[in-house]
Amino acid sequence: MTAHKRLPSRRHAETFELTVGGLRYVCTVGRLVDGRIGELFLSNHKIKQRRRYERARRGRLQALHHHRVG
């Protein structure tokens, strides 16, 4: 294992989106002066997607219930 090196306060970074298994991710890669990866941040919006799915599901169930009762 290599020794920890302090990252410069300003460094080149790129951010991009990707989709894996139907989930959307946002990835930010920070690079050192020599081009090596110094840090990587990965976040996904699964919670928001799950909430959206649950709202749509509840709406379909309510519509089905009203159709059967009505």
pLDDT in tens, 5-60: 777 778 789 999 988 887 788 999 998 888 888 899 998 866 666 677 677 767 76
Indicate whether 4 belongs to any domain. no
Q: Is the distance from CB of 28 to CB of 9 less than 8 angstroms?
A: no
Q: Is the distance from CB of 14 to CB of 29 less than 8 angstroms?
A: yes
- Give the range of the structural domain holding residue 23, as residue numbers without chain letter: 13-69
Number of separate domains in the chain? 1
pLDDT at 70 over 60: no
Indicate whether 7 belongs to any domain. no
Indicate whether 3 belongs to any domain. no
pTM, two decimals, is 0.54
Predicted confidence band of residue 68 (pLDDT cuts 50, 70, 90)? low
